[in-house]
Structure 1
Amino acid sequence: MRVRAALYVAQALEYCTLKGRALYHDLHAYRVLFDVDGNPRLSCFGLMKNSRDGKSYSTNLAFTPPEYLKTGRVIPESVVYSFGTILLDLLSGKHIPPSHALDLIRGRNITVLMDSCLDGHVSSSDGTEMVRLASRCLQYEARDRPNLKAVVSALASLQKDASAPSHTLLGISQDAVKENAEQVSFSATEKAYATADLEQVHELLEN
């Protein structure tokens, strides 16, 4: 399920890039929302108007892309770096600073990094591949990081059951999800968020 969440986010970021919105600012786990079916969706807050000039408003320096610390601006490769921190969150179940995680990876202490709750749910080979992908995303030099297309491809190869109900990722029952959905009515903006219709969201924000 965590692989699926990572894949959905990577696909959303790639979609933004294809639509001319390559700079997603201050990307972190709290930007990932879930719809009424428990499917992960990427919040559009990182695409706000006041972020279009390349400036970021992140204040947590431990998780900030290195190039931002140098120039005060983010680039498309910075988004990949931030996505790497989300992969770390999914793998470890914790918010581990990239520098510490990379030390564990270099020391081949991958078992220390991995969340024990994943035992029996993620194979050793898949876990290792996700760790390697996170490590590539977190490379210090922006040019050494993979692009989003490569990230999506890598995660898609690890996603073995795309039809699995992702509401289980939240630890809630499907009946509870359906019951809650029946009680909720959505505005036009909320519907756009829930369906991940980024074009509609942008139109609403412009008006």
Structure 2
Amino acid sequence: MMIDFQFISINLGIGIALVVLVAGSTWLYWALKKRRFVKLKKKYFQQNGGSELRQQLSGQGSTERIKFFTSEELEKATKNYDESNIIGRGGFGTVYKGTLTDGRIVAIKKSKMVERIQGKGFINEVGILSQINHRHVIQLLGCCLETQVPLLVYEFINNGTLSDHIHDENKASAIMWETRLRIAIQTAEALYYLHCVASTPIVHRDVKSSNILLDEEYNAKMCDFGASRLVPLDQNQLSTAVQGTPGYLDPESLQTNRVTEKSDVYSFGVVLVELLTGKKALFFDRPKEQRILTIFFLFPLKDDSLFQVLEDCIVNNGNHKQILKVAQLAQRCLSINGEDRPTMKEVMLELEMIRMIGENAEQNPEENTYLLGESYAHYYLGGGESSIATHSMTGSFLLPVSDAR
């Protein structure tokens, strides 16, 4: 049998040519796909304001602190956004837990599909958080603008939100009064920093218990600055569409479409009431006229029946003197007229004074009588709990706050 080497050679050549053709076509396909992917990422980066943000951060000197992550880095960190890594959902979108290549655990905020103009809220949040450095404000690590919607990367706070704890019957009793007061003070410190210490004053515009994160030791961290706005130094208010969450919105701002630092004070007052009562800002398991927490709270306060609406674990284990003063402070924060509300500096100082009075009440009863006002003298010097209702509305702190903003 004769072997036709010429035929084999031809077939072999054709085979090799086919292999080369297939390999070349595959390489070309993937090269073109990668090129299109790179072009698409650049397109998204520009659409999401990447160049503008780089320039903004460069002007602030924040380029070293805020990292621009690639889409591949965050896909790897979240295992391609696997559902098992979801740690939060909301109207804004979804938050994922991720692990970076250097081992750091982070929280990655992925927005829902939104109109382009709404998507600017993410860029706004980057610009604002890049200017903030405070222990009770969430730390922004970076962002990714290479995807259809921008992604924000934060430090990971592992104990959920204040809302998660105080509105869950199984968790609420674990947060005793001293811890709640400390959380209130830390949140007030963060808002005072935003209003008065930041290089340009910042109005948060969405202060609520679900925007206060807690670490494993129940320390507070303010988060979600998507609705926040910088207030020009020559102004004290913003004319803008009112944003926020029902139940926390400043009624004066709703009427005037003007947002000021006092709008945050009102919302903080609602958070104080949540800490005192354990109830949500809006709840629907009560008669219609009592479904708004502020109304549910203020009427008993005026009628000297405050302790009937407070959370049981607070009444049973809390310092009643401190509770009364915090309730009165919340009442002032919730004043309909913004001018009648305290500033966050005054709020912070008063909360600190309440804590100090509680700590020193036994050791220095006469000093605390002076600080609280004569109306509390009977209670501090042995009047007992029966005196609380009678004297709850007249005492006031003597604080050095005349220089507060």
TM-score, normalization by structure 1: 0.69
Decide whether aligned partners of structure 1 residues 137 and 91 sit closer, same or farther in structure 2, where only a CA change above 3 A counts.
Answer: same
Matches within 5 A, 1:1-207: 1-17=179-195, 18-19=197-198, 20-45=200-225, 48=228, 54-60=240-246, 62-96=247-281, 97-160=293-356
CA distance in 1, matches of 2:190, 2:314: 25
- Unaligned residue ranges in structure 1 (runs of 5+): 163-207
**Contact 2:249 2:267 survives alignment (8 Å):** yes
Greater relative contact order (CA < 8 Å, ≥ 6 in sequence): 1
For the residue of structure 2 that corresponds to 1:111, the secondary structure is: helix
Aligned to 1:176: none
State how far apart, in whole Å, the 1-side matches of 2:333 and 2:187 are. Answer: 14
For 2:280 and 2:351, the matched residues in 1 are separated by 21
Deviation at 1:44, TM superposition (A): 4.1
TM-superposed deviation, 1:21: 3.0
Does structure 1 retain, via aligned residues, the 8 Å contact 2:204–2:227? yes
Percent identical among aligned pairs is 27
Displacement of 1:43 in angstroms is 0.7
Cα offset, 1:65, TM superposition: 0.8
Q: Once the 2 structures are TM-superposed, how far is the Cα of residue 66 of structure 1 from its aligned partner?
A: 1.4
Q: Would you say how many aligned residue pairs link Structure 1 and Structure 2?
A: 161
Q: Is the CA contact 1:65–1:81 (under 8 Å) kept in the aligned structure 2?
A: yes
Which structure is higher in helix share?
1
1:48-84 CA-to-partner distances (Å, cap 9, x unmatched) read 4699864332251x43211122022321111111000
Q: CA RMSD in A?
A: 2.5
SS in 2 for 1:45: coil
* Structure 1 or 2: more strand by fraction: 2
- Rounded to whole Å, the distance in 1 between the matches of 2:269 and 2:228 is 22
Amino acid paired to 2:189: Q
SS at match of 2:184: helix
DSSP-derived class of the 2:242 partner: coil
Please say which of residues 104-113 and 136-145 is displaced more in the overlay.
104-113
Q: What runs of 5+ residues in structure 2 fail to find an aligned partner?
A: 1-178, 232-237, 282-292, 360-405
Whole-Å Cα distance in 2 between the matches of residues 47 and 58 of structure 1? 8
Q: Which amino acid aligns with 2:344?
A: L
The DSSP-based 3-state class of the residue aligned with 2:202 is: coil
Question: What per-residue deviation string (whole Å, max 9, x for no partner) do you get for residues 161-180 of structure 1?
Answer: 99xxxxxxxxxxxxxxxxxx
Aligned residue for 2:204, secondary structure, equals coil
Q: Distance in 2 between matches of 1:72 and 1:59?
A: 15
* Rounded Cα–Cα distance in structure 1 between residues aligned with 2:353 and 2:273: 18
Residue pair 1:80, 1:148 contacting (<8 A) in 2 also: yes
* Distance change (3 Å), C-alpha of 1:55 and 1:36: farther
Larger radius of gyration: 2
| Shift in alpha-carbon separation, 1:123–1:84, aligned structure 2, 3 A | same
CA 1:2/1:150 → structure 2, altered by over 3 Å: closer, same or farther?
same
What's 2:55 paired with? none
**Which digits, 9 at most, give the CA deviation of each residue in 1:57-112, with x for residues without a partner?**
2251x432111220223211111110000000000011242122111211121012
